[in-house]
Amino acid sequence: MITRLSQLFVRTLREDPADAEVPSHRWLVRAGYIRRTAPGIYTWLPLGLRVLQKVERVVREEMDAMGAQEVRFPALLPREPYEATNRWREYGPSLFRLNDRKGADYLLGPTHEEMFTLLVKDLYSSYKDLPLSLYQIQTKYRDEARPRAGLLRGREFVMKDSYSFDVDDAGLAASYEAHRRAYIRIFDRLGLSYVIVKAMSGAMGGSASEEFLAVSATGEDTFVRSPGGYAANVEAVSITPPPAQDASGVPAAHTVNTPNTGTIVELVDIANAQFPRPDRAWTAADTLKNVVFKLVRPDGATELLVVGLPGDRDVDTKRLEAAIAPAEATPLTEDDFAANPGLVKGYIGPAAVADGAATSYLGAEGPLKVRYLTDPRVVPGTAWITGANIADTHAVDVVCGRDFTSDGVLDVAEIREGDPAPDGSGPLSLARGIEMGHIFQLGRKYAEALGLKVLDENGKLVTVTMGSYGVGVSRAVAAVAEATCDERGLAWPRTLAPFDVQVLATGKGEEILAAATELAEQLDARGVHVLLDDRKASPGVKFTDAEIMGVPTAVVVGRGLAEGLVEVRDRATGERAEVPLANAVDYLVAVAGR
Ligand code: ATP
Ligand code: MG
């Protein structure tokens, strides 16, 4: 069946939507693929829905091919399973919670580990039933703090999620590997340029975990790569700590008067002017900067946290968020400082000089217990200039392990271009990407919490080990659009395009529309999906709309018809070819790969 543009439910827009931050969003709205319903919530129009369904088909085919079986859960779910795993709480404000008429708690599923675990528990009981992989392509709900960029980060979005169930670790490793291979095929077929990087498992728990990131300057994720093949999301980089140092030659810690050192630069300048080092100049890397955060747990409880790190580095917010999830960190307000006079703003240190205790901050109010975590570079024997917890005073020659210890390591400093890869495989380079998929070995966390056990070969009850795997299906529509669009509009790859060929009848005259319609019908008969622009509109409007809509091939039936010619345009390359109308069908069938 050919689709006539005069009938299609679509309106292209000449103006950018006001909230469009990235090209894919702008063009998907302007080309009439999606319409915004509420922040982060979109309606799919016919053109957009065709693309979404094509992505779904690719995902479905590859999941089926790897032996996973499709099911579909409701999006509306009861509270109890999420209570059992503590995620009713841990998911925090991102979870859409609601009540039924009896007051019972429900949620809109953000991800379905609990439900799949319970379903398998419900029906299976023996090792003979495993391994098993189940998947669904389904709508997910997350009340994201920052919905943005149209489909890229929605509050309602389509995800493929799958879950593997195995009796032992070797089984889980095999299921994970099978998913990894299926994901490679999926993202290859979608035509995305992507990297596979080591990932954090976040709120899910578990161990081995990788992300598939579409390389894109507009992506929200930052990843690192080394020439030797190391690749990780910055969130997941754990730096290799330097060896402990010999501090036997370091003088005893002592305080110095340092008024007006609001910044590390000012502190370093004062240090070089007032107490220069004999061997070299002090640098920011010689200072130990202590940054205070207020941690807010999902249950609302708060706690202060001080992070000590070399002064030449900042805390990377995303690394911090990932490291402390599901808790959230906020910087301290003036009111918070006022409430904690023990924290002397600008002069916070590990209390080394004051009393030698790692975790107490001495102010007018006496010791204040605060959790103190340090960057992995702060190893025993390293000597620092740091705050003395006294106004206008810093401490010098403060040695880790001698003068202070921390309550643990927190690896959240920014990663910089040229930093060494943790595995010694060379200097890191940074780039941005869009997270398209995430695979991870969950292990037994959910099976344990929900009691999913099976009898093993020896008749003994064992807890099942699980994997969890996601693909952002609606996000993929935007990511492909983002990668392929240009300054004139969308430009779909053939695998995802809503139509193979757009036939444009340009110019007045019955015979032009008749020839265009006949061409469209012949193409349709050969299995080519055709959009026929039969509108009473000017050639200019039709050309512009075709470029915005991004169908890979346009055929112009117009002026050339008198000489028996049509013009074939390639949307992506801009190439044009004059083709005799008589050969046009064969030519286009070949181009469309039908
Ligand atoms: P992100 O870090 O981008 O928030 P996530 O770690 O929360 O992603 P998962 O819970 O692993 O993501 O979800 C699996 C996949 O679902 C992701 O890899 C991504 O492609 C997609 N996805 C997650 N959140 C959204 C969203 N808000 N909008 C669209 N797609 C999303
Ligand atoms: Mg998320």
Q: Of all residues in the chain, what percent carry a pLDDT higher than 90?
A: 78
In ligand 1, the atom with minimum distance to the C-alpha of 436 is 20
Nearest CA to ligand 1 atom 18: 437
In the predicted model, is pLDDT for residue 410 greater than 70?
Answer: yes
Work out whether the CA dihedral 529, 533, 534, 535 comes out positive or negative.
positive
Pair 470, 510 in one domain: no
Could you give the CA distance from residue 41 to residue 585 in angstroms, rounded to a whole number? 41
Cβ atoms of 290 and 355 closer than 8 Å: no
Q: For 165-216, what is the HEC assignment?
A: EECCHHHHHHHHHHHHHHHHHHHHHCCCCEEEEECCCHHHCCCCEEEEEEEC
Could you give the CA distance from residue 266 to residue 258 in angstroms, rounded to a whole number? 9
Cβ atoms of 436 and 471 closer than 8 Å: yes
Pair 475, 566 in one domain: no
Looking at residues 424-449, what average pLDDT do you find?
95
In ligand 1, the atom with minimum distance to the C-alpha of 155 is 27
Q: Are strands 96-99 and 105-108 parallel, antiparallel or unpaired?
A: antiparallel
Q: What is the pLDDT of residue 360?
A: 41
Q: For 49-102, what is the HEC assignment?
A: HHHHHHHHHHHHHHHHHCCCEECCCCCEEECHHHHHCCHHHHCHHHCEEEECCC
Pair 114, 258 in one domain: no
- The CATH number given to whatever domain includes residue 390 is 3.90.960.10
| 150 close to ligand 1 (CB < 6 Angstrom) | no
User: Binning pLDDT at 50, 70 and 90, where does residue 345 land?
Assistant: confident
Pair 343, 221 in one domain: no
Domain membership flag for residue 45: no
Could you give the CA distance from residue 13 to residue 7 in angstroms, rounded to a whole number? 17
User: Binning pLDDT at 50, 70 and 90, where does residue 255 land?
Assistant: confident
Could you give the CA distance from residue 86 to residue 98 in angstroms, rounded to a whole number? 17
Domain membership flag for residue 85: no
- Burial class for 538, CB neighbours closer than 10 Å (0-12, 13-18, 19+): exposed
Q: Of all residues in the chain, what percent carry a pLDDT higher than 70?
A: 96
Q: Is 289 helix (H, G, I), strand (E, B) or coil?
A: strand
| 135 close to ligand 1 (CB < 6 Angstrom) | no
Domain membership flag for residue 249: no
What does the CA dihedral 433, 436, 441, 444 come to, rounded to 10 degrees? 120
Q: Is 302 or 315 the better-scoring residue by pLDDT?
A: 315
Domain membership flag for residue 560: yes
Could you give the CA distance from residue 403 to residue 306 in angstroms, rounded to a whole number? 17
Report CA(155)–ligand 2 centroid distance (Å): 10
| 436 close to ligand 1 (CB < 6 Angstrom) | yes
Looking at residues 355-383, what average pLDDT do you find?
67
Q: Is 334 or 27 the better-scoring residue by pLDDT?
A: 27
Last residue of a domain, one of 449, 482, 515: 482
Could you give the CA distance from residue 585 to residue 524 in angstroms, rounded to a whole number? 10
In ligand 1, the atom with minimum distance to the C-alpha of 434 is 3
Pair 303, 366 in one domain: yes
Tokens representing residue 397 in the block = 């020659």
**Nearest alpha-carbon partner for 579 in 570, 571, 568:** 568
Pair 192, 146 in one domain: yes
Cβ atoms of 375 and 309 closer than 8 Å: yes
Pair 389, 258 in one domain: yes
Pair 293, 376 in one domain: yes
User: Binning pLDDT at 50, 70 and 90, where does residue 407 land?
Assistant: confident
Q: Is 357 or 198 the better-scoring residue by pLDDT?
A: 198
Could you give the CA distance from residue 444 to residue 474 in angstroms, rounded to a whole number? 30
Nearest CA to ligand 1 atom 2: 435
In the predicted model, is pLDDT for residue 433 greater than 80?
Answer: yes
Pair 364, 305 in one domain: yes
Could you give the CA distance from residue 192 to residue 492 in angstroms, rounded to a whole number? 12
Q: What angle do CA 219, 321, 265 make, to 5 degrees?
A: 90
DSSP H helices in 532-580: 539-549
Amino acid at 79: R
pLDDT digit string (tens) for 474-514? 999 999 999 999 999 999 999 999 999 999 999 888 899 99
- The CATH number given to whatever domain includes residue 506 is 3.40.50.800
- Which residue of 161, 186, 475 sits with most ligand 1 atoms within 8 Å of its CB, as the best mutation to test the pocket? 475
Could you give the CA distance from residue 41 to residue 34 in angstroms, rounded to a whole number? 10
Tokens representing residue 525 in the block = 């008969």
Q: Is 292 helix (H, G, I), strand (E, B) or coil?
A: strand
User: Binning pLDDT at 50, 70 and 90, where does residue 203 land?
Assistant: very low
Report CA(151)–ligand 2 centroid distance (Å): 13
Cβ atoms of 133 and 165 closer than 8 Å: yes
In the predicted model, is pLDDT for residue 243 greater than 60?
Answer: yes
Q: What is the pLDDT of residue 358?
A: 35
pLDDT digit string (tens) for 26-57? 999 999 999 999 999 999 999 999 999 999 99
Domain membership flag for residue 30: no
Pair 217, 267 in one domain: no
Report CA(434)–ligand 1 centroid distance (Å): 10
- The CATH number given to whatever domain includes residue 473 is 3.30.930.10
In the predicted model, is pLDDT for residue 286 greater than 60?
Answer: yes
Domain membership flag for residue 37: no
Tokens representing residue 50 in the block = 């065709």
Pair 268, 391 in one domain: yes
Give the residue numbers spanning the domain of 570: 501-592
Count: domains in the chain: 3
Pair 299, 373 in one domain: yes
> How many CB atoms within 10 Å of residue 234?
20
Q: What is the pLDDT of residue 298?
A: 79
> How confident is the prediction for the chain on average, in pLDDT?
92
In the predicted model, is pLDDT for residue 357 greater than 50?
Answer: no
Domain membership flag for residue 288: yes
Helix-strand-coil split of the chain, %, nearest 5: 30, 30, 40
pLDDT digit string (tens) for 60-86? 999 999 999 999 999 999 999 999 998
**Nearest alpha-carbon partner for 591 in 502, 516, 490, 504:** 502
Radius of gyration over every alpha carbon of the chain, rounded to an integer in angstroms: 30
Domain membership flag for residue 1: no
Residue whose structure tokens are 């495993």? 130
Q: Is 430 or 322 the better-scoring residue by pLDDT?
A: 430
In the predicted model, is pLDDT for residue 204 greater than 70?
Answer: no
- 160, containing H or E segment: strand 156-166
| 153 close to ligand 1 (CB < 6 Angstrom) | yes
Residue whose structure tokens are 């400082």? 337
